[in-house]
Structure 1
């Protein structure tokens, strides 16, 4: 596993006007053990040569169907996690190719309305449900191998959750 590279990735904490963060339930992990239904923050891979700020807005549009957001903060460094070996064994393609993900996280202000969130915007939706959550809920919603990152994000961006 250590010989595989990390995949470059961006993630989004999308804050609404009430200081809540958008979380979405993975369509392929609706009952993931220990993941409270597979809830996560929008995230995705970075294309070769792509600017990270462009990538996070693209991923947000692809995964939750909206581009109604503006970047308000950026985590100052990269955060990494390793995929559990069982993901590769279960045929999860990305875990077969990569050791894990190296992520740059952004906080964004949502400038739209709830009607602008469209999980069906992509032909193969990654998520089947979404909701607004308090930032301190994030670690408890995360699948085990992402929990430390979500705890760090909740700490680092807590000041943005104030209305």
Structure 2
């Protein structure tokens, strides 16, 4: 982390201004500002250190949350874990346990991942890089809605067939 990033994280007003540029969702600035301050304090004002937080959006949205916040590597890793869990023989019948573990992990780490990306972009000392690297993908919300609607339809079909797939 650069001295520039430490300076931003040390100044609450400046942190919120830079987060607004990065997040492009003003209603979420305070949530992430408090999270960044928490991680920075845990790192003794030298770096960000992980401290558990909670995001209901990430809990229920998992990889869709990370797609929404442009955290593509994390979304890809979560997708790979979920797909791989379907093909691992000793996990057969434990799919829900894997799903819950992914949801809890996503919820606990979501804010840290976003803040870490923010600080990485801060190190460039360029507000335009913050704007380009941040923001949201609104299509991820629609993708989540479609996915969960399909899951609900499949679940309803299974129930209507007496539990037989």
Q: State the TM-score, normalized to the length of structure 1.
A: 0.24
Structure with more strand by fraction: 1
Q: Which has the higher contact order (CA 8 A, sep 6+)?
A: 1
